[in-house]
Structure 1
Amino acid sequence: MGASITPDRGTAERTAPIVTDGKRTIPHMVFASARRFADIEAIRGEDGSSLFYRDLEASVRRAAAAFVASGVAVGDRIAIWAPNSVEWIIAALGVQCAGAAIVPLNTRLKGREAGYILRTSGARMLLTVSEFLGADYPEMLEGEDLPDLERTVLIAGDTGGTSWSDFLAEGASVAPSEIDARLAAIEEDQVCDILFTSGTTGHPKGAVTTHGQNIWVYLRYSETYGLRAGDRFLIINPFFHSFGYKAGWLAAFLTGCTVLPHAVFDAKAALQRIERDKVTVLPGPPTLYQSMLAADYRAFDLSSLRLSITGAASVPVSLIEAMWADLGIDIVLTAYGLTETCGVVTMCRKEDGVETIANTAGRPLDGVELRIVDGDGVALPAGRAGELLVRGPNVMQGYFNNPEATAAAIDRDGWLRTGDVAVLDTAGNVKITDRAKDIFIVGGFNAYPAEIEGLLAANPAVMHSAVIGIPDERLGEVPKAYVVLRPDASATPEEIIAWCRDNMANYKVPRQVEILDALPMNASGKVQKFLLRT
Structure 2
Amino acid sequence: MATSLSSHISLQTSESKISDFANWYSRETGIYSSKHPSISLPTDPFLDIVSFVFSHKHDGVTALIDSSSGYSIPYSKLLPLIQSMASGLHRLGVSQGNIVLLLLPNSSHFPIIFFSILYLGAIVSAMNPLSSTIEIKKQVSDCSVRFAFTSLEKIDQLNNLGVHAIGVPQNIDFDSENIGFSPFHELIGGRFGKAPRPVIRQQDTAVIMYSSGTTGVSKGVVLTHGNLIAMVELFVKFEASQYEYSSSKNVYLAVVPMFHIYGLSLFVVGLLSLGSTIVLMRRFDGNEAVKLIDYYGVTHFPLVPPILTTLVMIAKGATNTENSFKSLKQVSCGAAPTSRKIIEDFFQVLPHVDFIQGYGMTETTAVGTRGFNTQQCHKYCSIGLLAPNMQAKVMDWNSGSPLPSEYYGELWLKGPAIMQRYLNNDVATKMAIDKDGWLRTGDIVCFDEDGYCMYLTA
Following the alignment from structure 2 to structure 1, what is the Cα–Cα distance between the partners of residues 80 and 453? 43
The partner residue of 1:78 within 90, 100, 106 is 100
Task: Tell me the equivalent position of 1:166.
Answer: 186
Secondary structure of 2:328 counterpart: coil
Alignment correspondent of 1:308: 331
Report the equivalent of 1:152.
Answer: 165
In 1, the alpha carbon distance for the partners of 2:120 and 2:335 equals 36
CA contact under 8 A between 2:32 and 2:393: conserved in structure 1? yes
Measure, in 1, the Cα distance between the counterparts of 2:263 and 2:64.
14
Q: Is the 8 A contact 2:99 2:143 kept in 1?
A: yes
The one-character-per-residue Cα deviations of 1:118-172 (angstroms, maximum 9, x if unpaired) are: 1101111111012xxxxx43355586xx35x2x0011127587864113335x53
User: CA 1:322/1:23 → structure 2, altered by over 3 Å: closer, same or farther?
Assistant: farther
Q: Does 1:230 align with 2:253?
A: no
CA distance in 2, matches of 1:308, 1:72: 39
> In structure 1, what is the Cα distance between the partners aligned to 2:286 and 2:108?
21
Which residue is equivalent to 1:206? 220
Distance in 1 (alpha carbons) for counterparts of 2:230 and 2:341: 34
Is 1:245 matched with 2:268? no
- Counterpart of 2:307? 288
Once the two structures are TM-superposed, the CA of residue 335 in structure 1 deviates from its matched residue by 0.5
Matches within 5 A, 1:398-437: 398-433=421-456
In 2, the alpha carbon distance for the partners of 1:257 and 1:39 equals 6
Q: How many residues align?
A: 413
Task: Specify the alignment match of 2:290 in structure 1.
Answer: 271
Q: Deviations over 1:280-324 (max 9, x none)?
A: 110001211221222344476321111221036542334334444
Instruction: Please give the per-residue CA displacement for 1:175-208, whole angstroms capped at 9, x wherever unaligned.
Output: 32x34x34xx222222111101135766421111
1:12 maps to which of 3, 20, 38: 38
Is the contact between residue 237 and residue 270 of structure 2 (CA under 8 Å) also seen in structure 1? no
SS at match of 1:226: helix
Partner of 1:44: 65
Letter in 1 for 2:288: A
Q: Deviations over 1:404-453 (max 9, x none)?
A: 1111110100001111122121222222226xxxxxxxxxxxxxxxxxxx
2:150 is the alignment partner of 1:137: no
Write the letter of the residue equivalent to 1:334.
Answer: Q
Q: For residues 116 and 161 of structure 1, what CA distance do their matches in structure 2 show?
A: 26
Cα distance between partner residues in 1 of 2:275 and 2:110: 19
AA matched with 1:273: L
Structure-2 separation of matches of 1:426 and 1:240: 36
CA contact (8 A) 1:363 1:428 kept: yes
Write the distance in 2 (CA, Å) between the matches of 1:27 and 1:312. Answer: 26
Unmatched tracts of structure 2, length 5 or more: 1-26, 170-174, 242-246
Deviates more, 1:38-47 or 1:274-283: 38-47
The alpha-carbon distance between structure 1 residues 128 and 298, as it changes in their structure 2 partners (threshold 3 A), is farther
TM-score where L is the length of structure 1: 0.71
Q: TM-score, normalised by structure 2?
A: 0.82
Could you list the structure 1 runs, at least 4 aligned residues long, displaced by more than 6 angstroms after superposition: 20-23, 159-162, 352-355
Instruction: Judge conservation of contact 1:84–1:238 (CA < 8 Å) in 2.
Output: yes
Provide the C-alpha distance between the structure 1 equivalents of 2:200 and 2:90, rounded to a whole number of angstroms. 14
* Closer, same or farther: CA 125–172 of 1 in aligned 2, 3 Å: same
Q: Which residue identity lines up with residue 76 of structure 1 in the other structure?
A: N
SS in 1 for 2:78: helix
Aligned 8 A contact 1:368 1:391 in 2: yes
| CA distance in 2: counterparts of 1:28 and 1:142, whole angstroms | 32
SS at match of 1:239: coil
Which of 81, 105, 109 is equivalent to 2:127? 105
Q: 2:414 aligns with which of 387, 391, 407?
A: 391
Aligned residue type for 1:319: I
Matching of residues 183-194 of structure 1 within 5 Å: 185-194=199-208
Query: Whose RCO is larger (CA < 8 A, sep 6+)?
Result: 2
- Seen in structure 2, the aligned counterparts of structure 1 residues 257 and 13 have a Cα distance that, compared at 3 Å, is same
Aligned pairs (5 A) from 1:255-404 = 255-295=274-314, 296-298=317-319, 301-311=324-334, 314-327=337-350, 330-351=353-374, 356-358=379-381, 360-374=382-396, 375-404=398-427
Deviation of the 1:66 alpha carbon: 1.2
SS at match of 2:389: coil
Give RMSD over aligned pairs: 2.9
Q: Distance in 2 between matches of 1:332 and 1:420?
A: 22
Contact 1:320 1:354 in 2 (8 A): no
- What percentage of aligned pairs have identical amino acids? 25
SS in 2 for 1:95: helix
